[in-house]
Amino acid sequence: MAMRRPGTEHDRSVFSRRSLVLFGAQGALAAGLGARMYQLQIVEGEHYAARAERSRIRPSLLAPVRGQILSRDGKPLAVNRHNYRVVLYRENTGDLTQTLERLSEIIPLPPLRREALIEEITRTRAFLPVLLAENLKWEEFAEVNANAPALAGIAPELGLTRHYPEGDYTGHIVGYVAAASERDIQRAGADGPVLKLPDMRIGKSGVERVEELALRGKAGLSRIEKDVHGRPMRELERREGTPGEELTLTLDLALQKYAMQRMGTESGAVVVMDVYDGDVLAMASTPGFDPNGFVLGWSQKEWVALRDDEKRPLNNKAVSGLYPPGSTFKMVVALAAMDAGLVGPGHSVYCGGHIELGSHRFHCWKRGGHGTMNLHDGLKKSCDIYFYDIAKRIGIDRLAEVARKFGIGVLPEIGLVDAKTGLMPDKAWKRARKNEPWHPGETLHAGIGQGYMLGSPLQLAVMASRIANGGYQVHPRLVRARDGERIKARSLRGTGIDKQYVDAVHRGMYGVVNELGGTAYKSRIALPGHEMCGKTGTAQVRRITTSERATGVLKNNELPWKLRDHALFVAFAPADDPRYAISVVVEHGGGGSTVAAPIARDVLLKLQFPKEIPEGAVPQGADPVFVAKNDDDDENEDV
């Protein structure tokens, strides 16, 4: 009988238990793997298949074509022009420095620019394009194409860029586009990714900004198959986006250009409105700026010159420039007094050159005075004393109430983001703003459009329009149609001022221009049936001291430019059947009768006679009508 080896049974038992544990662990692992595979392939199979598909096929947004902006007669104001550009694909390029040096022999690429490009290229994934230059001339683009075989990795491309054919003539109105900022992208919400597209630009000012959503359109979609490294292989599907809307403005381009040229080197604004439908036919702000500079880029010298110019060419003075309206406000003072039943057209006041209120003396612009004035003569000769008297009778609160009915101190409903409300003060305003009571002398200042009062040229045009149309609250508008569909004007609502009072003001404004002794008599239109009614205004920007009055008030040409008076004029024409209203403000221009009125006369003549202004349009001895230069039409390749 063989002897058992000691420990054998024990060892076998231990081995069996260990094997069982091992096999159990393996079985559990296999079961876990099987369960996980079941979960991945059966339960979540569709989810991961979709993820794999998305990794292989990536959708890309396509920038939509921006809508065009046209004048009322169909002339292009903002279009899309072919943009000839050059990009580089790093993975197809050998010696990067040598390639860029060769390219610089064809298109301008200074050494500093090449260094910056090399730094950018090295940070970019090799298969992604890097923009080297854009907005090339056709000759440069063609030469790059011809030399493409010798320029490894260089790819000429054709894109779109915004172009403004009329440049500084319409820069303030149309505005400009630029790349979206991070703030713009955040505010866009769901449209944020669209704004990140390389070709995408958004409106930053003017109509481009106000009508951004309509002009932008809807993005398209491209589905591209890529390899495991992310390189594009082929396009599987392409759905083009929806182009932006085409907008037609109310602007009369020929009149706009004429108004800009007529202002010349002056700083100021001209606004022309239709007194019934509110169409803004011209909105000239000078000096202007070329919005193409924001698309193509300014040089440092150009930008500093624009930014630091004392005449503020980047500001749209027509809507954001605020000025004391001066004597152009006197019609509203007269209407408020008659509406309150305090005076009638025959109310008379004696002007001896000044009146006193307490310890203060208030002067008329005419040192010796005008003598006895009624409403007609008070407007015709712009007598300050007459309007001091009736303003004192009205009181500031009643005057402010009527002024707002005529658009003063009310934000114009034109939509431009830089439009300002101006200021029509009253007692509540002064208590809230300065924590002070209103003083009677301040009412007298308001009676001649001075003191705290401020208005924009657009507000003055609105005021003139509402007087011209008999007292109806017409509102200005810039967009006339969308994609060819006409936008209706707002129905007119009355100001509540009796028409007989408005007619009395009409007669006074007629006298200003067309009767001997009127302040704008030398600037009248001499063609029967085409005369204008108007009102001159001169707004002081400095205080004239008592000592200066004693020694003689300095003339405007004796003062520095920024201390000279503003020149203003408002008018409408034709006198017997008003259709068009105009306001002219010339910053530090001097007298409204000598500077602003002739500009308004010429613009209204151009409006009534667009082809050729007939001989005899102005009286003998008056300044001749301004003749605009003809600009050659640019031949632009627009789409």
Any idea which residues carry the catalytic annotation? 327
**In terms of Cα–Cα distance, which of 575, 376, 367 is closest to 468?**
575
Contact 396, 426 (CB under 8 A): yes
Number of alpha carbons in the 13 Å side-chain half-sphere of residue 135: 11
What does the DSSP 8-state code read for residue 638? B
Helix, strand, coil percentages in the chain from 3-state DSSP, rounded to 5: 40, 20, 40
Rg (alpha carbons) of the chain, rounded to whole number: 36
H/E stretch holding 539: strand 533-539
Number of alpha carbons in the 13 Å side-chain half-sphere of residue 256: 29
H/E stretch holding 363: strand 360-363
Question: Rounded CA gap, 355 and 363, in Å?
Answer: 7
Cis peptide before 287 (omega within 30 of 0): yes
**In terms of Cα–Cα distance, which of 236, 226, 188, 201 is closest to 78?**
201
Q: Are strands 247-249 and 69-70 parallel, antiparallel or unpaired?
A: parallel
CA 176 → CA 81, 167, 293, 523, distances in Å?
14, 10, 9, 37
Contact 77, 249 (CB under 8 A): yes
Pull the structure tokens for residue 474.
């017409």
Burial of 543 (0-12, 13-18, 19+ CB in 10 A): exposed
Question: Rounded CA gap, 300 and 360, in Å?
Answer: 52
Pull the structure tokens for residue 435.
């924590």
**Complete DSSP assignment for 542-608:** SPPPHHHHHH-PPPGGGS-GGGSPEEEEEEEESTTS--EEEEEEETT---IIIIIHHHHHHHHHHHH
Give CA angle at 165 (162, 170), nearest 5°. 100
Buried b (16+ CB within 10 A) or exposed e, 512-540: bbbbeebbbbbbbbebeebbbbbbbbbbe
For the chain, the residue count is 639
Q: Nearest 5°: phi and psi at 74?
A: 85, 10
What is the greatest pairwise CA distance in the chain? 159
